[in-house]
Every structure is written in structure tokens, then in C-alpha cells.
Amino acid sequence: MPDCLFCKIANKEIPVKLEYENDQVVAFNDINPQAPVHILIIPKAHIEKVSDFDLKHRDLITEFVLVANEIAKKKGILNSGYRMVFNCNKDAGQAVFHVHLHLLGGRQMSWPPG
């Protein structure tokens, strides 16, 4: 996707320090962190939003949670706690239309979310 910011990050056209990379996903710090740990995990393939997932994405969907757990361990928040968030479409406040999982932690969070 030529004009997609997160495609450019995933294919390294825009250099950012990666926190994690494997054949399916990359992870990097959110530019506007909402918690001491705020990392975005994105697929290398361009998929706009969570509602576009189907069964062919089964492995990728699994990967998001496993990678988030691994990063949480690396960041020392595995036991203190963390939140994983996918914003999908307008009402959820999705701003970047390349699927991304927010991994947030390092502080006490409230519920319900705003």
C-alpha cells in the first residue's frame, strides 16, 4: 500500500527502532505513548482493520497475542499486568488503517476505557 505509514515502517522505508520482528509482524514504540510501555504490533502485510480478518489470517491472529506476551515479558510487565487493544473503525477511534495491536502497561489502568 504506497501511502500507508505502517507499511512503510514494516518494510523499513521509514526507519524506526523495532522492539520485535519475525516473518509476520514487527513491533515498535508508539509515537504518542499512553503508558510507560506502549508498543504497536503490526502485520507486515497490509490489512486495514480487524474486521477484515478471516480464517486465512488464523496464524497471524495467534501471532499478535504470542508476540505481545513475549514483549510484555521482555519489558518486565508480564506479572504486573498489561492491556492489548485493537481499535476497529470510527467509534473505536481507529486513526491508522493498517491493523495494529496496542500493548500497554507499566501503570495502573482504569475500566471502562474512554
What residues have CB less than 8 Å from 58, skipping those under 6 apart? none
Does 45 bind ligand AMP (CB under 6 A)? Our answer is: no
CA pair distance 6, 30, nearest whole angstrom: 11
Lookup: cell for 55: 480464517
Please report, in angstroms and rounded to a whole number, the separation of the first and last CA atoms in the chain: 31
- Is 100 among the residues known to form the active site? yes
CA pair distance 57, 28, nearest whole angstrom: 21
Does 93 bind ligand AMP (CB under 6 A)? Our answer is: yes
Query: Which does residue 87 touch among ligand AMP, Zn ion, none (CB within 5 to 8 A, set by kind)?
Result: ligand AMP
Question: Applying CB under 6 A, which of residues 32, 79, 108, 110 lies at the interface with ligand AMP?
Answer: 32
Does 96 bind ligand AMP (CB under 6 A)? Our answer is: yes
By beta-carbon proximity to ligand AMP, the closer residue of 79 and 91 is 91
CA pair distance 61, 24, nearest whole angstrom: 10
Find the binding residues for Zn ion in span 89-108 (CB under 5 A): 98
By beta-carbon proximity to ligand AMP, the closer residue of 28 and 72 is 28
CA pair distance 50, 45, nearest whole angstrom: 13
Q: Report the interface residues with ligand AMP, using CB under 6 A.
A: 5, 30-32, 40, 87, 93-96
Annotated catalytic sites, by residue?
Answer: 100
